[in-house]
Amino acid sequence: EICDRVLNKGWTLITDESGAMGPHAINKDQWVGFDDAAMIKHKSEFIKKHGFGGAMIWALDLDDFRNVCGCEEYPLLRTINRVLRNYPSGPLCSLSKESKHAITTESSEGDLRSEEVTPEITPCPQITGDKSDCNKFYTCQFGVLIQQECPAGLHFNQKALMCDWPENSGCKTDENEIPDEPDDTNEPPQTSMEVSTGSEMPEIESTTSANEIIDSRYKVVCYFTNWAWYRQGTGKYLPEDIDTTLCTHIIYAFAVLDSERLEIKPHDSWADIDNEFYTKVSSLAKKGLKVLLGLGGWNDSLGDKYSRLVNSKEARKRFITQAVNFIEKYKFQGLDLDWEYPKCWQVDCNKGPDSDKEGFASLVKELSAVFKPKGWLLSAAVSPSKVVIDQGYDVPVLGQYLDWISLMAYDYHGHWDGRTGHVAPLYFNQGDTFSYFNANFSVHYWLDEGTPKEKLILGMPMYGQSFALVNESDNGLNAPTSGPGTAGQFTRAGGFLAYYEICDTISGANWNVVRHQTGAMGPVAYKGNQWISYDDADDIRRKSKFIKDVGIGGAMIWALDLDDFRNICGCGKNPLLSTINQELRNRNGNTNNCT
């Protein structure tokens, strides 16, 4: 990128004649320092002179590996090899325009070069209706208007910026007008969105009044993940994207356990500390939320370190002392324990000792004794599996000393089963292998084992599990699968799709959506060999009503960055989380299915 800018885009090159450092290039207010081939040669000769062991480069993909600049492929790496490994001689690529190795005007690799990115993209409205067709609307993606359509029978509501019933939309067409587009954009790609085979029509949440009374009897616990900011484009999720009106509690996922010291440490210091995510999220307490630090998670539960912690009284004591300092330093209001799982490490109950059960209960009891006087909160995310509950949790002790227990009532089924199944069924369905693989059983089992109702929180997935079918024509429940489904554009993990990826994908042509008639589980969608199970707004509403009917303490979601937080699908921002709030906290609106 640098050589292209210097040779072709008017950047001024300045070299250090003394050889103390590499060159730098300037263009207006942009300044870049770098090493060119001459400096790489100089450093390689320095290695030889001092008798060092060799050279390392970061990284292969950053050299000119496609010869974009017309000298040779890998010019910097080849220079190292010529000095250190007697590589065959070749050009010393120069960025001087007088050099015979400068790039030519016509290059066979020219299609690999993109236009220089300017500081500003010509603005376009984030979302706007089509002035000639009430059913259509446009979303702005990187300065380009992308046309989409509301489901059949709905019009785009310009005021609410979402699809709505025609009588509510206020849409009046003018066939002579089209949405204003940025001058430098091409014709927007046509993206068709077809209604599913189901009969439900999306109903859209009304705008929330500033004076709206929110019911505070139920908790809505929301996990914020510190890795979603690495996603590209519209998938990127930052602390600023958190809608604080939709959660009562935020849990920052995750800090991790140091395997040697058995103390809390940041999972990603670049995000957590350097980019101040800890501070930005914990400061949301000023808006009336309770913000806890989450410890653990699936990946951090690998191995024996949590077992070593809970089974040593001295280790627990040191951990608690350090945890208090860590929480105070970053101004959190408590700790959420997400060890997956005591005794059954990453669901393998043959790995951990029986003593994990008592040790985890002891850690909870001892943390509570220190936290209570400080007014801090202590919670845990727990397994929905009867097998894990029986072997890993002293439920009466946890129920007594935890402020709440978040039941992870999802991932009952996934591609690891080798057959299709729903990610988070509410009730048992005929044909299920186990009668206890559903939220209804898990909730009542935790209650029966001694959890106070008001402390049990039902977890709901803002994502789906996807599968690759062995036979495209065998696409029902328990159909054989060959592995995970295709990774999503933004989440990029096989077998896993964010809700916004699901609703956007399924809105395309030829997807079949099948809804369970009894409501025992959410919908499934299939096309070709791809099969997806997920919860839509109706299923989230059904589970929220279940919370009220059973009388438990509220809802938990995994995770904020997986709901449709940018209104990609036209059903309003955060449609699933909004549905929970409509049912549990009397928030205005009635969001319905988006697929």
Catalytic residue among 203, 205, 340, 501: 340
d(CA 524, CA 424): 11
Residue 231 DSSP class: S
The β-bridge partners of 186 are none
State whether residue 341 is helix, strand or coil.
Answer: coil
CA distances to 165, 248, 589 from 206, in Å: 12, 20, 5
CA distances to 123, 284, 454, 544 from 218, in Å: 41, 19, 9, 10
Question: What secondary structure does DSSP assign to 243-293, as a single string?
Answer: -GGG-SEEEEEEEEE-TTT--EEES-HIIIIIT-HHHHHHGGGGGT-EEEE
> Hunting for tokens 């587009």 — which residue is that?
181
State whether residue 31 is helix, strand or coil.
Answer: strand
CB atoms inside a 10 Å sphere around CB 236: 14
On whether the CB atoms of residues 342 and 357 are closer than 8 A, the answer is yes
Active site residue 115: no
d(CA 228, CA 500): 14
> Quick one: CA dihedral 157, 159, 161, 164, positive or negative?
negative
Strand order in the sheet with 12-14: 12-14, 24-27, 30-33
CA distances to 39, 73, 113 from 63, in Å: 14, 8, 14
Q: Please give the single-letter amino acid code of residue 520.
A: A
d(CA 188, CA 190): 6
Q: What angle do CA 124, 125, 127 make, to 5 degrees?
A: 135
Q: Which residues are catalytic?
A: 340
